[in-house]
Structure 1
Amino acid sequence: MKLPWTRHTKDDRSQAGAPESNPSAPNQPEQAADAPGENTPEGAGGKTQGKGRPTPKRRDAAGARRGPLPPAPLTGAEARARRKALAGPKLSRDERRAQGAARRERQTQARERMLAGEEAYLLPRDKGPVRAYVRDVIDSRRSVSGAFMPVAFVMIGASLIAPAKFQVFAAPAMLVLLAAMVLEGLWLGRKVNNLVRLKFPDSTEPGLGLGWYAFSRATQMRRMRVPKPRATPKDKDQV
């Protein structure tokens, strides 16, 4: 028994009484009996056949373009040889000494110009006419903050060798000195901001940043300040 969806052959049609095709009729294109996909790029079920391998990841493809990485060295001699090959030609002792001397000379010149206050060699925090003016204001005045480090070293050394009576007064004295530094820092920040607003009315420097910059320079000893001070306490009225 044939089901409705099965293909009927010529014998089945003849048995069922179906008229056979007239041989005298014009030739008609016969339907291909082959399964779909046998002679087409489509496989069974009408699906396109794949390329047979997964698509490589981007990093794998980039690595393939660059080439494989060299294997890790197995011995110390092989590692040293590889470093020598990457370093390039070996310099003689005289050439190395000449390069080192030239490098030290450049570093010395750069430091000297930075200490002199040349704008191109200053750190970013020290650049600009506003910061230069703040340094002149601080350098032209004596402050308690500048004496903190020397006094602290003296008191610490004295507390190690002094009798116990002196050590009792050392801690309160340090607290008083710290309180004086804090009060002086607030006063310096306010004074510096007022002077900057008068001399540079178009300045966009934040007040808190200028105050902290002034206080941090005031806490340094005079000979250790970078750049070196251009003004002295005698120039107080000119700044």
Structure 2
Amino acid sequence: MNDANQKDNVDNASASEKHSKAYTPKKGHATPSRKQAQAASGAFEARFSTAESYGESRKKRKELKASMSDEEWKQYKADQKEARRKQQQAAQAAMDRGEEKYLLPRDKGQEKRFIRDFVDARRYLNNLVMPFAIILLVLLFIGQKQQTLGAAVSMVAMVIMIVLFIEGVYLGRKASRAAKAKYPHTTESGFSLGFYAYGRATQPRRWRTPKPRVEIGDKVE
């Protein structure tokens, strides 16, 4: 058995020497089709669509259309559209509530849930990033015609950006330390947790998904 293993190792080494540095080994499996990727667990389509495949659904629709009058078919399509709308609304509501099944991969996990509560319980200057960006664009547009105003706006914008960056670094490090202290065996990296906290903080509170579960000022442990 050892001789066979040694022979395989020698053969693999010889094969690797024959290939150039640019050689990419085969994956060992075929690249999934678009339909297979959409049906994979965790994909958007898999979470919000029916369990039927595209081919099955298309065949069913053809059979139904053949058995219906034009008016019945129009009504059927209207009913299906309304059913999809309600399904999407229900899925979005479940996502807003933070139900794990409907969350995006980036939002899943107890650590991410803790980070969201940690950020949602406090106010940060980074909460104003979007309004500040809109105001800055307007002022810079005006400043193109008034050089004095443009120079002043650029200086103020630079100062604000530095302040926001410093706060973002501070928030990210503080949130990641708190999450790791609560979940010492987490496999999430400190950078990943910190960046997630920063991204959450830069979104206006009412636009956040999942929706905040805590009020500002609540103690999160």
Shorter-chain TM-score bucket reads 0.5 to 0.7
Distance 2:193 2:153 in 1: 33
Kindly indicate whether the alpha-carbon contact (under 8 Å) linking 1:116 and 1:227 is maintained by their aligned counterparts in 2: yes
Q: In the alignment, what sits opposite 1:46?
A: none
Distance 2:151 2:162 in 1: 18
The Cα shift of 1:184 comes to 1.5
Q: In the alignment, what sits opposite 2:188?
A: 205
Gaps of 5+ in 2: 1-57
Counterpart mapping for 1:63-142 below 5 A:
88-89=62-63, 90=65, 92-142=73-123
Larger fraction in helix: 2
Q: Percent identity, aligned pairs only?
A: 36
Which deviates more from structure 2 when the two are superposed, residues 92-101 or residues 188-197?
A: 188-197
Distance 2:188 2:136 in 1: 38
The Cα shift of 1:164 comes to 4.2
Distance 1:215 1:238 in 2: 17
Query: In the alignment, which of 204, 210, 220 is matched to residue 221 of structure 1?
Result: 204
Distance 1:85 1:113 in 2: 31
Query: In the alignment, which of 138, 163, 168 is matched to residue 180 of structure 1?
Result: 163
Q: Which is higher, the Rg of structure 1 or of structure 2?
A: 1
Kindly indicate whether the alpha-carbon contact (under 8 Å) linking 2:175 and 2:193 is maintained by their aligned counterparts in 1: yes
Which deviates more from structure 2 when the two are superposed, residues 113-122 or residues 178-187?
A: 178-187
Gaps of 5+ in 1: 1-83
Length, aligned pairs only? 155
Kindly indicate whether the alpha-carbon contact (under 8 Å) linking 1:152 and 1:174 is maintained by their aligned counterparts in 2: no
Distance 1:86 1:228 in 2: 38
The Cα shift of 1:88 comes to 2.2
RMSD: 2.2
The Cα shift of 1:191 comes to 0.7
Distance 2:61 2:215 in 1: 52
